[in-house]
Amino acid sequence: MNRYLPDHVHCKGERFHVLLTEEEIQKRTAEIGSKLARQFEGKRPIFIGVLNGAFIFLSDLMRLTPIPCEVDFIKLSSYGDEKVSSGEVIELKEINADLTGRDVILVEDIVDTGLSITFLADRLNSLQPASLTLVTLLHKVSATTRQVTLDHVGFEIPDRFVLGYGLDFSQEGRNLAQIYIQEDEV
Ligand code: IMP
Ligand code: MG
């Protein structure tokens, strides 16, 4: 297989190196998938992926959760093309599925300030699901200012910009097979 796996990435004049390898991501994703399969055994949960960043993690996580399930997507905008959050969340694509009485598993790529996930949790809870489970691949713990309880976190990471495996920097880098972190400026 011809995966996109450079040692370093240059994007918009910034340099990034590998933070998490394909193997580490797959192993952790499988652990979370097994836990979800146990948690929802005999049920039929619906995964809600947050576009665009979570699409790759979601597709792997679903296939590593060996129970019947469904999927739908929501799309938010808060960053534009910048690296720093604008502090404002806008819903660009709403959920089509009826979530009333459903077991909902929200899947995010990364929790940074926590603004997006708290907005999403409020939004989904207003649709009266039977349960809401919050999953994120990455969590920048020291950057999170909102009070939020995450049910499953793939990796806690430093407060530096990352890209790859679905995450972008101004729309670039999503197809990288592993996760890269910005290097310090010299
Ligand atoms: P929050 O609302 O500040 O928690 O930001 C969450 C959203 O910002 C994520 O869903 C990502 O789309 C984006 N984001 C935050 N940090 C990064 C990063 O380091 N790389 C790429 N996207 C990021
Ligand atoms: Mg996102």
Per-residue exposure over 146-174, b if at least 16 CB sit within 10 Å of its own CB, e if not: eebebbbbbbebeeebbbbbbbbbeeebb
Q: What would the pLDDT profile of 88-142 be if each residue is shown by its tens digit?
A: 787 778 888 899 999 999 999 999 999 999 999 999 999 999 999 999 999 999 9
pTM here is: 0.94
Which residue's CA is the nearest one to ligand 1's atom 5?
112
108 in contact with ligand 1, CB cutoff 6 A? yes
Q: Atom of ligand 1 at shortest distance to CA of 109?
A: 10
Q: Atom of ligand 1 at shortest distance to CA of 140?
A: 16
Spacing, Cα 174 to ligand 2 middle (Å): 12
Mutate to test the pocket of ligand 1, among 50, 112, 155, 157 (most ligand atoms within 8 A of CB): 112
The pLDDT of residue 61 is 98
- How many Å apart are CA 113 and CA 98, to the nearest integer? 29
